[in-house]
Amino acid sequence: MLISFMLLFSHQGKLRLQKWYVPLLDKGKKKTTRELVQRVLTHKPKMCSFLECLHFCCAIEDQDNELITLEIIHRYVELLDKYFDSVCELDIIFNFEKAYLILDEFLLGGEVQETSKKNVLKAIEQPDLLQEEAETPRSVLEEIGLT
Amino acid sequence: MPAPIRLRELIRTIRTARTQAEEREMIQKECAAIRSSFREEDNTYRCRNVAKLLYMHMLGYPAHFGQLECLKLIASQKFTDKRIGYLGAMLLLDERQDVHLLMTNCIKNDLNHSTQYVQGLALCTLGCMGSSEMCRDLAGEVEKLLKTSNSYLRKKAALCAVHVIRKVPELMEMFLPATKNLLNEKNHGVLHTSVVLLTEMCERSPDMLAHFRKNEKLVPQLVRILKNLIMSGYSPEHDVSGISDPFLQVRILRLLRILGRNDDDSSEAMNDILAQVATNTETSKNVGNAILYETVLTIMDIKSESGLRVLAINILGRFLLNNDKNIRYVALTSLLKTVQTDHNAVQRHRSTIVDCLKDLDVSIKRRAMELSFALVNGNNIRGMMKELLYFLDSCEPEFKADCASGIFLAAEKYAPSKRWHIDTIMRVLTTAGSYVRDDAVPNLIQLITNSVEMHAYTVQRLYKAILGDYSQQPLVQVAAWCIGEYGDLLVSGQCEEEEPIQVTEDEVLDILESVLISNMSTSVTRGYALTAIMKLSTRFSCTVNRIKKVVSIYGSSIDVELQQRAVEYNALFKKYDHMRSALLERMPVMEKVTTNGPTDIVQTNGETEPAPLETKPPPSGPQPTNQANDLLDLLGGNDITPIIPTVPTSKPASAGGELLDLLGDLNLAGAPPSAPASVPQLSQPPFLLDGLSSQPLFNDIASGIPSITAYSKNGLKIEFTFERSNTNPSVTVITIQASNSTELDMTDFVFQAAVPKTFQLQLLSPSSSIVPAFNTGTITQVIKVLNPQKQQLRMRIKLTYNHKGSAMQDLAEVNNFPPQSWQ
């Protein structure tokens, strides 16, 4: 497996995203997350130059290529950036389900499924349209107060 | 009932909470609302509620009551519902819960849905968290989708298939036909996932691997694709900093690695492309280095020609100079893996590696340290040791123990001179004295003992070292031991290596007593100090009374170990003063135990007890000729020091008796022992000291127990004669005599014995190692057996010797012990 799990957390250690590609009980996930967050934050206290700063954490296997994993993280950030038009942490907080959906179009089962940025974004935007079309009638009704 | 609040509303509200308690209250309130909404089976807002639940779950709150709701969402016809439902399933469910099995049918339906995005959701979920049962049920659907022309679905199906194979390896075969034309695709997503699938299959099954090598000719296909990627012009869709689709390049390189491993033809076919990638990849950004790194890993793993391997190692060497510490880190890790196989090539980068010891990053330092130790050899030992000692000085505490151990090992292997070796050890002890591992102390003591000409120098340096600071226990232990052994050299100022210092006997005792009193000294250290003081009683001339006083004080120490020692030493002063000088003699040179077992031959005065021995089958193969070694191998315990054999072989009948005579004389006051050198050293097993109090220890001769012939074969005959102890009925003394009736001598004769677990055995030194021919003489050896449970005596013996130019070895069981010998 290329990636066992991926975590995103804030400078203060608040979890913003967690994607697990290995089966682990909730307790195990919590423990691992906690330990990792602690380690990263104590290790690099001076890494961030501004107040809010997101940490990306990817767990890979022993024989995997760490440098390409960095590129994977890089690519994911670029995708978020493109989708949210200059992404910031708040975007991820308020649209976490979108962040997951983007991730799920980029990785599957811990491996990269699409290497073209364009195609990944297309795979999000088109279903988004599908969703909007289906929802529109209902939201109009809501707006005029007829629920 | 008012509509449940929207997700964004909830997030905003929760973020206004100022304390953890406030947040918890909000969450609980919302959870209650969601729960009642679920109970009402509200289809309209289920999606919204589950989304909120997922958010709260991410904050760390329990959300398991939403699991079934996710299933309902998945079963819904609405796309929005399905999206959140599948997301919820992936976050809240995992294969350990039975609930997820209910998804199987839904997923099956969705895999065949008319909308590709729904199919995509199903494939994604199955590929991320599908259990083995689910995979078994749905593998057929996945296989179908693997053959579709829709590249969006095909790539997902490929990765889903990878997951299925990981979960249920037996299903691998069924995906084989579908892989036929996967690499003909133009779509990079499909190409990438196909390569991943092929990699998984090749890694898991050697048959598959062979099939793909031979029948499918995978290597040329991959080489072609890789070449196109490198040569093709700028492709905006897949470009990363000027490199075309690095993700695909890396995966192809990885698959090539597996195909080329242990296969000459495949390795040759990929030689050129690897060289091309290695030389042409842009290295200014991380992405280029990622590809280079994968290339290096591939080159090192396949059967590449030496030029290519050197190229790879040089790439790693360049990585070491990179500013990016990630790159330095992977380089060190890879070099560590290849240092054994390509040692010379890695040696060329030694100075760069050593520089990495000064890196700020802890992980880099650790790898640099490991690599440095791997590179130490006889030629570079002096230079490397300087660097390593400097590193030991300045590194973090977590490294010190490993570094110290590594330095000791390296020094032992490659020390250019004894003086250098001792100096290096001293440096480590004084720099990192408290981090040195416990097992290092006996090793060092042995080393010092064996460097006979350096004794004066060593003891002087050690004395100076602890004078200032006696808190580092390993240092103090070694120093105490040496001072106890060589205190006479210290006081007489005999040092040749450096300026001898002026030390009086009282000053030496002062420091040892300070160690005894100090709160920082552990019990073990105190033991060392007390024994050292005792030993000095035979080496010092003016301060014996002072020593006596110290020893008697500790006779009432709270520490039981110290108390026992002190009482025994006291007894030595009072009743057995005539034995004292012999008992406290200088330690003989000790042979180093080879790696046969964890037991160490090094004795530290009175520390050792004989370990309970078991019948072990004697190890076969060449044994070191040192006798104590062999005994340890066979007997598995560290119970005696090698005793210089001086008992003459002339009179077979009483040869063993002479040794026993010495001990038999114990109750006669004032009679000095006749053969001082052969009296056992201080580390005697307890049962020997048992008889010291009053009566003769053993019946002298002719106790009436019949002797037996334990072994007789090929002209070698071994006889056992027995004696029983008066005071300790569990002790039997067996004297063996080996004789040789052939026309040629048997040389390098070694007798070894093993007994069952309930017995204890002590084998004393033999009279010689040559059994002369024509029965003109014998080898005698004494065995003492302790049999507290009065069980039937059985013994297995092993004999090794050289005869007529060849090495002989034999094993035998001795079962004919007369009952009087053990009852």
Task: Return mean pLDDT, chain A.
Answer: 84
In B, which residues are within 8 Å of A118 by CB distance? 237
Cα(B378)–Cα(B414) distance, rounded to whole angstroms? 5
The predicted-structure confidence for B395-447, as pLDDT tens digits, reads as follows: 989 889 999 999 999 998 999 998 899 899 989 998 888 888 888 888 889 88
Closest Cα to residue B141, out of B102, B105, B180, B190? B105
In B, which residues are within 8 Å of A142 by CB distance? 3
Place of tokens 């242990």: B262
Count of residues making up chain A: 147
pLDDT at B450: 86
If pLDDT is split at 50, 70 and 90, which confidence band does B677 have?
very low
How close B132 comes to chain A (CA, Å)? 12
Residue type, B694: S
pLDDT at A52 over 60: no
Hey, CA dihedral for B475, B481, B482, B487, is it positive or negative? positive
pLDDT at B687 over 70: no
**For B130-242, where are the alpha helices, taking DSSP H only?**
132-146, 151-167, 188-204, 206-214, 218-231
Binary contact (A97, B87; C-beta < 8 A):
yes
pLDDT at B706: 84
Comparing B448 with B614, which gets the higher pLDDT? B448
Phi, psi (5° rounding) for residue B596? -65, -30
In B, which residues are within 8 Å of A123 by CB distance? 117, 120, 152
The predicted-structure confidence for B764-798, as pLDDT tens digits, reads as follows: 888 888 888 888 888 888 888 888 888 888 888 99
Q: Which residues of B280-306 are buried (b: 16+ CB within 10 A; e: fewer)?
A: ebeeeebbbbbbbbbbbbbbbbbebee
Residues B255 and B202 sit within 8 Å (Cβ to Cβ): yes
CB within 8 Å of chain B, chain A residues 115-134: 115-119, 123, 126-127, 130-131, 134
pLDDT at B816: 87
CB within 8 Å of chain B, chain A residues 18-57: 18, 20-21, 23-25, 30
Q: How far apart are the first and last CA of chain B?
A: 95
Place of tokens 């990263």: A40
pLDDT at B817 over 70: yes
pLDDT at B136 over 90: yes
How close A59 comes to chain B (CA, Å)? 15
Domains contained in chain A, CATH given: 3-144 (3.30.450.60)
Tokens linked to B439: 């097992």
- Listed ranges B71-85, B658-672, B809-823; the one with the highest mean pLDDT: B71-85
A–B: how many Cβ contacts below 8 A?
Answer: 139
In A, which residues are within 8 Å of B78 by CB distance? 134
CA B724 to chain centre: 46
The predicted-structure confidence for B694-744, as pLDDT tens digits, reads as follows: 333 344 444 578 888 889 988 899 999 888 877 677 888 888 889 998 888
pLDDT at B297: 94
Binary contact (B290, A30; C-beta < 8 A):
no
In A, which residues are within 8 Å of B196 by CB distance? 111
Question: Among B451-455, B556-560, B594-598, B654-658, where is mean pLDDT lowest?
Answer: B654-658
CA B727 vs CA A102, B671, B724: distances in Å: 87, 22, 9
pLDDT at B616 over 80: no
The predicted-structure confidence for B357-374, as pLDDT tens digits, reads as follows: 999 888 899 999 999 999
pLDDT at B659: 37
Cα(B607)–Cα(B568) distance, rounded to whole angstroms? 13
pLDDT at B662 over 60: no
Q: Average of pLDDT values for A61-71?
A: 88
Residues B716 and B622 sit within 8 Å (Cβ to Cβ): no
Count of residues making up chain B: 823
Question: Among A43-47, B138-142, B146-150, where is mean pLDDT lowest?
Answer: A43-47
pLDDT at B145 over 90: yes
DSSP string, B56-76: HHHHT---GGGHHHHHHHHHS
pLDDT at A123 over 50: yes
The predicted-structure confidence for B585-609, as pLDDT tens digits, reads as follows: 888 877 765 443 343 333 333 333 3
Cα(B108)–Cα(B112) distance, rounded to whole angstroms? 7
Could you tell me which chain B residue has the CA closest to the CA of A125? B117
pLDDT at B197: 97
Residues B388 and B356 sit within 8 Å (Cβ to Cβ): no
CA B166 to chain centre: 31
Tokens linked to B217: 């000719």
Binary contact (B290, A130; C-beta < 8 A):
no
pLDDT at B94 over 80: no
If pLDDT is split at 50, 70 and 90, which confidence band does B675 have?
very low
- The DSSP letter of residue B722 is E
Q: Average of pLDDT values for B736-754?
A: 89
Tokens linked to B665: 């004389």
Binary contact (A130, B129; C-beta < 8 A):
no
Residues B212 and B201 sit within 8 Å (Cβ to Cβ): yes
pTM of the predicted model, to two decimals?
0.68
pLDDT at B623: 35
pLDDT at B593: 58
pLDDT at A136: 66
Comparing B496 with B268, which gets the higher pLDDT? B268
How close A84 comes to chain B (CA, Å)? 16
pLDDT at A144: 60
Task: Mutation target for B interface from A20, A93, A115, A122: give the one with most B CBs within 10 A.
Answer: A115
In A, which residues are within 8 Å of B96 by CB distance? 23, 25
Binary contact (B290, A21; C-beta < 8 A):
no
pLDDT at B317: 93
pLDDT at B170 over 90: yes
The predicted-structure confidence for A4-19, as pLDDT tens digits, reads as follows: 999 998 888 889 999 9
**For B40-131, where are the alpha helices, taking DSSP H only?**
46-59, 67-75, 79-92, 103-111, 116-129
DSSP string, B266-294: HHHHHHHHHHHHHHHS--SSHHHHHHHHH
Task: Return mean pLDDT, chain B.
Answer: 83
Closest residue to A115, CB basis, from B79, B117, B245? B245
Place of tokens 């290529």: A65
Closest Cα to residue B197, out of B246, B163, B150? B163
Q: Which helix (H) or strand (E) holds A13?
A: none
Q: Which residues of B622-656 are buried (b: 16+ CB within 10 A; e: fewer)?
A: ebeebbbbbbbbbbbbbbbbbbebebebeebebbb
CB within 8 Å of chain A, chain B residues 154-193: 155-156, 159-160, 162-163, 166, 188-189, 192-193
pLDDT at A132 over 90: no
In A, which residues are within 8 Å of B49 by CB distance? none
pLDDT at B747 over 60: yes
Q: Is B778 helix (H, G, I), strand (E, B) or coil?
A: strand
Residue type, B585: E
Question: Among A51-55, B315-319, B601-605, where is mean pLDDT lowest?
Answer: B601-605
The predicted-structure confidence for B520-541, as pLDDT tens digits, reads as follows: 899 999 999 999 999 999 998 8
pLDDT at B107: 95
Tokens linked to B317: 């060497």
Residues B240 and B277 sit within 8 Å (Cβ to Cβ): no
Could you tell me if B751 lies within 8 Å of chain A, comparing CB atoms?
Answer: no
**Backbone conformation region of residue B262, classed left if phi is above 0, alpha if psi is from -120 to 50, else beta:** left
Task: Mutation target for A interface from B57, B83, B132: give the one with most A CBs within 10 A.
Answer: B83
Q: Average of pLDDT values for B221-229?
A: 94
Cα(A64)–Cα(A43) distance, rounded to whole angstroms? 23
Task: Mutation target for A interface from B159, B186, B241, B245: give the one with most A CBs within 10 A.
Answer: B159
If pLDDT is split at 50, 70 and 90, which confidence band does A111 have?
very high
pLDDT at A138: 55
Could you tell me which chain A residue has the CA closest to the CA of B86? A101
